[in-house]
């Protein structure tokens, strides 16, 4: 059964207004607010010239807002960037390794990487990581806490070794970390990280319909579809322990009327 609860139009309006008010109340980070080390500064200085060229070749500039999507299958991390007309894909990075299998993280020490909707603020960057460079994805979030899921310190990091995290090669995490650092330094309050077992198309959901996690994956589908449709990062909230999507735009509101699915 779809875990999204039915809201009135009035309730949806209140939810969207509350989320907007919260976002306005959070001060943006500045470059001086971001954690750093001489090592991280050196690595970012080294990667900057080439990455600037790659960005310019695709019409992007350093410091534009970013959005990250992770798919356990096929094992990729996407970095999207916002030019002001919605997000466009900058680059897809292969994940070197991650822990566990498709499905959410449940407990501390289960060696399982999480799935769901997370956010990364300046203080979650770790320039002094023992795994080259890293950022904490924000597990457990409010949804995870409501489900009594335990554990923490789930990172995207380098060194290609994982005990619950998403491990990249050092070269790949240098690029991803640089893009995150510069976006936060230039005023993005936080960036979203959406973690899925695979692209949540209807075809894939049918393909994996026998999984014990199919109901959970269907509960993630409206958030996945919201971005796919408008290329705007949807506002995701938690109500009564379940994810809800604060729709953006009339098309999205129609598609997910009353927070239902197709």
Q: Provide the annotated active-site residues.
A: 157, 165
Alpha helix segments (H runs only) across the chain: 9-25, 38-57, 142-146, 170-185, 202-207, 214-230, 250-255
Residue 194 · residue 117 · CB < 8 Å: yes
Question: Which of 182, 125, 176 lies closest to 155 in space, CA to CA?
Answer: 125
116 touches 72 (CB < 8 A): no
Q: Which helix (H) or strand (E) holds 157?
A: strand 155-157
Phi-psi region of 115 (alpha: psi -120 to 50; beta: other; left: phi over 0): beta
DSSP 5: P
Q: Is the dihedral of CA 187, 190, 191, 192 positive or negative?
A: negative
For 84-106, letters b (16+ CB in 10 Å) and e give eeebeebbebebbebbbebbbbe
DSSP conformation class of 234: P
């Amino acid at each position: 059964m779809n875990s999204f609860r039915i809201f009135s139009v009035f309730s949806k309006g209140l939810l969207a207004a509350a989320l907007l008010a919260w976002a306005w109340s959070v001060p943006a980070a500045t470059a001086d607010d971001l954690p750093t080390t001489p090592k991280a500064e050196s690595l970012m200085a080294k990667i900057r010239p080439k990455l600037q060229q790659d960005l310019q070749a695709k019409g992007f500039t350093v410091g534009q807002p970013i959005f990250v999507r992770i798919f356990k299958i096929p094992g990729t991390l996407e970095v999207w960037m916002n030019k002001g007309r919605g997000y466009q894909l900058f680059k897809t990075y292969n994940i070197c390794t991650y822990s566990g299998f498709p499905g959410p993280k449940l407990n501390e020490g289960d060696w399982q990487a999480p799935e769901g909707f997370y956010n990364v603020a300046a203080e979650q960057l770790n320039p002094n990581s023992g795994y080259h460079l890293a950022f904490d994805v924000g597990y457990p979030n409010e949804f995870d806490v409501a489900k009594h899921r335990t554990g923490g310190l789930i990172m995207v990091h380098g060194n290609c070794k994982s005990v619950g995290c998403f491990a990249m090669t050092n070269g790949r995490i240098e690029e991803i970390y640089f893009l995150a650092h510069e976006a936060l330094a230039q005023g993005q309050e936080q960036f979203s990280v959406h973690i899925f077992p695979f692209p949540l198309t209807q075809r894939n959901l049918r393909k994996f319909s026998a999984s014990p996690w199919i109901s959970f994956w269907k509960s993630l589908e409206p958030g996945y579809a919201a971005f796919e449709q408008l290329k705007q990062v949807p506002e995701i909230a938690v109500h009564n322990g379940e994810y809800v999507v604060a729709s953006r735009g009339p098309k999205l509101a129609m598609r997910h009327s009353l927070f239902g699915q197709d």
